[in-house]
Amino acid sequence: MKNLILLFLILLISYSIKAQLSLDAKEMITVKDKKKSVEKINGKIIINSDTTEIEIHINEISYKEKIGQFSDFSDFGECKVYIYDQEEGYLVFQILNNSLYSVWFQTKKNKLQFL
């Protein structure tokens, strides 16, 4: 019985690890009123697909938000794009070579992108 419980715990932990994507963000690009600005940051973005949340850590700021409802998926071979509907816009994940490459939050007027 102990072996069965141990096996279940190992499977649960490995599933949770696979359900996370992370990106160590080094710069942040913002676009507002068609003006682009680039800022160097020390950031980390963690996407928890099992809890459907995204955690953003930029310098000393931490933020957590629900991912939203899945909207679209495009597969370009080594590049995959996932789009989620948010209340006021979209959340876009770009996966390159099975690693999280960029995250975009886009509202109707402004865009925030992490690379």
Counting the structural domains of the chain, the total is: 1
- Rounded to whole angstroms, how far apart are CA atoms 85 and 93? 12
pLDDT for res 29: 83
For 68, left (φ over 0), alpha (ψ -120 to 50), or beta?
left
pLDDT of residue 15: 47
pTM score: 0.63
Print the domain residue range for 36: 2-114
Q: What is the mean pLDDT of each run of 10 residues along the chain (115 residues)?
A: 59 52 81 85 81 82 83 87 84 82 80 68
